[in-house]
Amino acid sequence: MTTAALFPGFEPRRISTSGAEINLVLGGHGPPLLLLHGYPQTHAMWHRIAPRLAEHFTVVCPDLRGYGGSAKPPTTNDHAPYSKRAMALDEVEVMQALGFKRFMLAGHDRGGRVAHRLARDHPERVQRIAVLDISPTATMYAQTDMAFATAYYHWFFLIQPYDLPERLIGADPAYYLRKKLGGWGSNLEHFDPRAYAEYERCFRDPATIHASCEDYRASATLDLQHDATDAAHKLECPLLVLWGAKGVVDRLFDPVADWKSVASDVRGKRLPCGHYLAEEAPNETYAELLAFFGGH
Phi, psi for residue 44 in degrees, rounded to 5: -60, -20
Q: Based on the residue annotation, tell me whether 210 is a catalytic residue of this protein.
A: no
Q: Which of 109, 133, 250, 258 is catalytic?
A: 109
- CA gap 235, 39 in Å, rounded: 24
Amino acid at 153: Y
Q: Based on the residue annotation, tell me whether 109 is a catalytic residue of this protein.
A: yes
Question: Would you list the DSSP string of the chain?
Answer: --SGGGSTT-EEEEEE-SS-EEEEEEEESSSEEEEE--TT--GGGGTTTHHHHTTTSEEEEEPPTTSTTS------TT-GGGSHHHHHHHHHHHHHHTT-SSEEEEEETHHHHHHHHHHHH-GGGEEEEEEES---HHHHHHT--HHHHHHTHHHHHTTSSTTHHHHHHHTSHHHHHHHHHT-TT--GGGS-HHHHHHHHHHHTSHHHHHHHHHHHHHHTTHHHHHHHHHTTS-B-S-EEEEEETTSHHHHH--HHHHHHTTBSSEEEEEESSSS-HHHHSHHHHHHHHHHHHT--
Q: Which of 108, 154, 226, 275 is catalytic?
A: 275
Cβ neighbours, 10 Å, residue 257 = 12
The residues that are catalytic are 109, 275
